[in-house]
């Protein structure tokens, strides 16, 4: 502990001393053996080897420890009825296509079409026009576009809320899928008997001037994976939404004919907190 006493950055000193205290307490608590220490170093080395600009095994490790959600919790203090945040995940990309309100994010991704609509408001209930809404999701086989090798752009887009803060788009009814589990984190989950599967979800990132950026998802009410558990602890009750399957013959909001495939609809009203001062 004293080796950090001379650190002139008070925050760095606090973080390093606390980390040291907890790390030593952990080693004493489990009486860590030298073989286990070596296995730990081997694990971290393997995580480093598989990590590149597309694959981030350390973030995955943080996710399956619940450390990502804990960090989100301490940094997104509840404010009024602001929509809760959850994990970002590794599958957001910057250059998604823009769609108009009512557009379709599928871009060829397979799955049951789903109409998603809602509003963006602030804590006082005032509409937030022109909020930028990024959405992304896996296809029905459980893969994001970036997990395919053919450079497709599918299951992602961004749009802006209208003058009344309203938005709507076509997406896909989400289905459960596993986090990447072909590396050291997957081996870790297998050795402790944990599933890599995430509860079905659709990602959102919502930004608007002077308001706190919201990174979140919506989950599917009734998804059996909700009871089994989400491998990265991302579920919040407030984010579980009813995805209503529509009876054949029900007209779609924009006249699109989906009788042969069926469709669903859901509503997600987004409330943004003020940006931190
Ligand atoms: C995801 O939802 O995309 C995700 C989140 C955490 C780890 C892996 C994937
Ligand atoms: Fe995801």
Going by alpha carbons, the residue nearest to atom 6 of ligand 1 is 89
Average pLDDT, integer, range 139-148: 94
Average pLDDT, integer, range 114-143: 97
Query: Long-range contacts: 11-16, Cβ < 8 Å, 24+?
Result: none
| Half-sphere exposure at residue 251, Cβ-oriented, CA atoms within 13 angstroms | 3
What residues sit around ligand 2, an ion, with C-beta below 5 angstroms?
89
Residue 109 has what pLDDT?
A: 96
| Half-sphere exposure at residue 236, Cβ-oriented, CA atoms within 13 angstroms | 17
Q: Pick the atom of ligand 1 nearest to 180's CA.
A: 8
Residue 24 has what pLDDT?
A: 98
Distance CA 52, CA 46 (A): 12
pLDDT in tens, 35-70: 999 999 999 999 999 999 888 999 999 999 999 999
Residue 126 has what pLDDT?
A: 98
Q: Mutation test of ligand 1: which of 47, 90, 230 has the most ligand atoms closer than 8 Å to its C-beta?
A: 90
Q: What is the DSSP string of 111-156?
A: S-EEEEEEEEEETT--B-TT-EEEEE---TTS--GGGSSS----SE
Assign 248 a pLDDT band (cuts: 50, 70, 90).
confident
Assign 249 a pLDDT band (cuts: 50, 70, 90).
confident
Residue 230 has what pLDDT?
A: 96
Q: 137 CB less than 6 Å from ligand 1?
A: no
* Domains observed in the chain: 2-50 (no CATH), 57-272 (2.60.130.10)
Q: Pick the atom of ligand 1 nearest to 203's CA.
A: 2
Q: Which ligand ends up closest to the CA of 91?
A: 1
By percentage, how much of the chain surpasses pLDDT 90? 94
Distance CA 202, CA 271 (A): 17
Average pLDDT, integer, range 82-103: 95
Distance CA 195, CA 218 (A): 21
Q: 142 CB less than 6 Å from ligand 1?
A: no
Measured in residues, the chain has a length of: 277
Longest dimension (CA), the chain: 73
Residue 276 has what pLDDT?
A: 79
pLDDT in tens, 147-206: 999 999 999 999 999 999 999 999 999 999 999 999 999 999 999 999 999 999 999 999
Does this model's pTM top 0.85?
yes
Q: Pick the atom of ligand 1 nearest to 60's CA.
A: 7
Going by alpha carbons, the residue nearest to atom 4 of ligand 1 is 89
Residue 76 has what pLDDT?
A: 87
Q: 176 CB less than 6 Å from ligand 1?
A: no
Assign 226 a pLDDT band (cuts: 50, 70, 90).
very high
Q: Are 270 and 129 in contact (CB under 8 A)?
A: no
Distance CA 90, CA 198 (A): 13
Q: Mutation test of ligand 1: which of 198, 200, 215, 217 has the most ligand atoms closer than 8 Å to its C-beta?
A: 198
The mean of the pLDDT values for the chain is 96
């Amino acid at each position: 502990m004293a080796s950090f006493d001379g650190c002139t950055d008070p925050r760095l000193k606090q973080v390093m001393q606390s980390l040291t205290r907890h790390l030593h307490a952990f080693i004493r608590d489990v009486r860590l053996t030298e073989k286990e220490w070596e296995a730990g170093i081997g694990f971290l080395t393997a995580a480093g080897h598989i990590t590149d600009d597309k694959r981030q095994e350390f973030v995955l490790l943080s996710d399956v420890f619940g450390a990502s959600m804990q960090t989100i919790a301490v940094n997104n203090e509840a404010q009024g009825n602001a929509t809760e945040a959850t994990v970002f995940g590794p599958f957001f990309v910057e250059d998604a296509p823009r769609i108009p309100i009512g557009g379709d994010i599928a871009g060829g991704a397979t799955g049951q079409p789903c109409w998603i609509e809602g509003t963006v408001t602030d804590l006082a209930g005032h509409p937030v026009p022109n909020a930028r809404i990024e959405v992304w999701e896996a296809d029905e086989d459980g893969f994001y576009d970036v997990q395919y090798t053919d450079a497709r752009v599918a299951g992602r887009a961004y749009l802006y809320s209208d003058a009344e803060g309203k938005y709507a788009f076509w997406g896909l009814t989400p289905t459960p899928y596993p986090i990447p589990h072909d590396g050291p984190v997957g081996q870790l989950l297998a050795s402790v008997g944990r599933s890599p599967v995430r509860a079905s979800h659709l990602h959102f990132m919502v930004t608007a001037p002077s308001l706190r950026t919201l990174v979140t998802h919506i989950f599917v009410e009734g998804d059996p994976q909700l009871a089994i558990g989400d491998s990265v602890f991302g579920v919040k009750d407030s984010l579980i939404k009813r995805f209503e399957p529509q009876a054949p013959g029900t007209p779609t909001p924009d006249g699109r004919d989906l009788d042969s495939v069926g469709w669903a609809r859901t509503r997600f009203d987004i409330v943004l907190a003020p940006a931190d001062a």
